[in-house]
């Protein structure tokens, strides 16, 4: 069974089992780095409002889904499927 954790504040990391926090933070760091690189390629200067929450699925796949919501109501989802274990 896969566990899913929605992170909306720093305190939400305490919902994750202690032996899985490192894996979550590692995946989050990798995904944020990729997201930031994508913004740079597109020439978008981040405002800090681009991401409000982070949902981590503890499935060991290290996949990434990012949904971008624009102020004008448009949205798009980018999905990167690795299917490989994260470096826990």
Number of domains composing the chain: 1
More confident residue, 15 or 65: 15
- Looking at the domain assignment, is residue 87 inside a domain? no
pLDDT in tens, 6-38: 998 999 999 999 999 999 999 889 888 888 887
Range of the domain at 38: 3-80
Q: Model's pTM, two decimal places?
A: 0.72
pLDDT band, residue 87 (cuts 50/70/90): low
- Looking at the domain assignment, is residue 42 inside a domain? yes
Instruction: State the DSSP H helix or E strand holding residue 83, giving kind and residue range, or none if neither.
Output: none
What is the pLDDT, as a whole number, of residue 3? 92
DSSP code for 30: H
For residue 75, give the nearest of 50, 54, 53 by alpha carbon.
Answer: 50
Residues 26, 55: Cα–Cα separation, whole Å: 13
Show contacts of 31-39: CB within 8 Å, 24+ apart: 31/64, 31/66, 34/64, 34/80, 35/66, 38/78
For residue 55, give the nearest of 14, 22, 88, 13 by alpha carbon.
Answer: 13
């Amino acid at each position: 069974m896969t566990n899913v954790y929605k992170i909306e504040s720093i305190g939400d990391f305490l919902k994750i089992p202690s032996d899985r926090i490192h894996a979550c933070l590692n995946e989050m760091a990798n995904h944020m780095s990729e997201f930031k690189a994508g913004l740079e390629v597109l020439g978008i200067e981040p405002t800090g409002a681009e991401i409000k929450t982070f949902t981590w699925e503890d499935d060991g796949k290290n996949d990434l889904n990012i949904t971008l919501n624009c102020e004008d109501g448009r949205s798009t989802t980018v999905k990167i499927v690795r299917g490989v274990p994260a470096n826990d």
